[in-house]
């Protein structure tokens, strides 16, 4: 894989991930109204502690995510490790979020984004790309 292909993989992850996250907001008709009402009831019933934990871990994950995407794109030596930490934080975050409703199209895009992210993280740890993340002096 070339540097350009790897960077395109990261860009594809971002574009698909944002599209998957925003799809149901931009096109609310994709999700039946019954699901939207049920989601509102679930959101209203979340405890303050659970919401606080979700928010704190979410902000940390977002900060690490932005840093790791930048670092992977620029082939910084610290980026592969930060990408792993970001992934672990994201996995820990989901149980605190509770149940949520998404359209099939949004779920599909989010799965694709997850696969693209996984490929980017794995490729950063295996040759030949892993050598691009080694520290260079001078």
Q: What is the pLDDT of residues 12-68, one digit of tens each?
A: 999 999 999 999 999 999 999 999 889 888 888 777 887 888 888 889 889 999 999
39 in a structural domain: no
Model confidence at 138: pLDDT above 60: no
104 in a structural domain = yes
The residue with greater pLDDT, 136 or 66, is 66
Which residues form the domain of 129? 3-27+47-133
Contact 51, 113 (CB under 8 A): no
Q: Determine, yes or no, domain membership for 22.
A: yes
User: What is the mean predicted confidence (pLDDT) over 91-103?
Assistant: 83
Q: How many domains does the chain have?
A: 1
Q: Is residue 19 part of a domain?
A: yes
**Considering the domain boundaries, does residue 138 fall inside one?**
no
Residue 93 lies in a domain: yes
Does residue 42 lie within any of the structural domains? no
């Amino acid at each position: 894989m070339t540097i350009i292909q790897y960077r395109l993989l990261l860009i594809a992850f971002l574009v698909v991930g944002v599209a998957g996250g925003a799809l149901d907001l931009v096109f609310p008709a994709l999700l039946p109204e019954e699901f939207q009402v049920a989601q509102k009831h679930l959101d209203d019933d979340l405890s303050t502690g659970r919401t606080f934990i979700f928010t704190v871990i979410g902000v940390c994950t977002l900060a690490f995510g932005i840093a790791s995407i930048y670092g992977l794109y620029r082939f910084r030596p610290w980026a592969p490790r930060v990408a792993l930490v970001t992934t672990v934080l994201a996995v820990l975050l989901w149980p605190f979020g509770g149940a949520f409703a998404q359209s099939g199209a949004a779920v599909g895009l989010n799965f694709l984004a997850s696969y693209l992210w996984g490929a980017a993280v794995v490729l950063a740890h295996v040759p030949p790309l892993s050598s691009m993340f080694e520290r260079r002096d001078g």
